[in-house]
């Protein structure tokens, strides 16, 4: 699948730019414009640290941001990205799953969940997550391409099962070969 986790940090930041940051602090008081600006700057710094693969420093910033605003989606998304990059796949899945439940209108958490599920070989779960991402953002090409990749992997698994069930079937192995070739071509074209 293309567009693994780090590439989506920028996409989420841009997508959430249209969603106003919560205007109240955790204790319920209204935030000043300066407090909002400082928070946005700290979020930008954290995203830069993630892009630069400085995950420990990024997590320190993200944890501070989440202490200030625990429901803020961009910081939570970045936390999931860092967890995934540090090999904490189950923690990343949990973070992104809760984020997608709290903000079902955001396609990026669903897409990243799908990438994590696909890495685990859980293509049916990946399919469900990507179909949700596409429903939320029908014009988002990344999610559509990833969905195509998942469909191809699911198809390959079914062609392989069909070939094993009926060894005289010549169509299933031929189709399996075509799908595997398609997947290999896609892997060769990855950045």
Convert the pLDDT of each residue in 87-131 to its tens digit.
999 999 999 999 999 999 999 999 999 999 999 999 999 999 999
188 confidence band (pLDDT: 50, 70, 90): confident
Tokens linked to 34 = 């300066």
Mean pLDDT of 74-85: 95
- State the average pLDDT for the chain: 86
Per-residue pLDDT tens over the stretch 33-42: 888 899 999 9
Q: Give the CATH number, domain containing residue 31.
A: 1.25.40.10
At residue 48, does pLDDT exceed 50?
A: yes
* Containing structural domain, residue 170: 5-188
How many other CB atoms are there within 10 angstroms of residue 134's CB atom? 18
What lies within 8 Å, CB to CB, of 5 at 6+ separation is: 81, 84, 85, 112, 115
Whole-angstrom Cα distance, residue 151 to residue 50? 30
Q: Check if the beta carbon of residue 133 is closer than 8 Å to that of residue 107.
A: yes
pTM (2 d.p.): 0.82
Q: How many domains does the chain have?
A: 1
The DSSP bridge partners found for residue 30 are 24
- Residue 29 binned pLDDT confidence (cut-offs 50, 70, 90): low
């Amino acid at each position: 699948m293309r567009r693994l986790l780090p590439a989506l940090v920028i996409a989420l930041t841009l997508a959430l730019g249209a969603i106003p940051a919560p205007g109240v602090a955790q204790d319920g008081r209204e935030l000043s414009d300066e407090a909002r600006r400082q928070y946005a700057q700290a979020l930008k710094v954290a995203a830069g640290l993630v892009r630069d693969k400085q995950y420990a420093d990024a997590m320190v910033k993200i944890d501070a941001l989440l202490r200030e605003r625990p429901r803020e989606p961009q910081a939570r998304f970045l936390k999931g990205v860092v967890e995934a990059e540090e090999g904490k796949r189950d923690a990343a899945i949990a973070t992104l799953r809760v984020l997608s439940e709290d903000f079902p209108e955001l396609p990026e958490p669903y897409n990243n969940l799908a990438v994590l599920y696909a890495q685990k070989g859980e293509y049916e779960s990946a399919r469900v997550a990507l179909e949700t991402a596409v429903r939320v953002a029908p014009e988002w090409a990344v999610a559509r391409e990833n969905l195509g990749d998942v469909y191809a992997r699911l198809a390959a698994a079914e062609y392989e099962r069909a070939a094993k069930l009926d060894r005289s079937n010549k169509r299933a192995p031929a189709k399996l070969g075509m799908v595997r070739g398609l997947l290999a071509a896609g892997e060769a074209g990855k950045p």
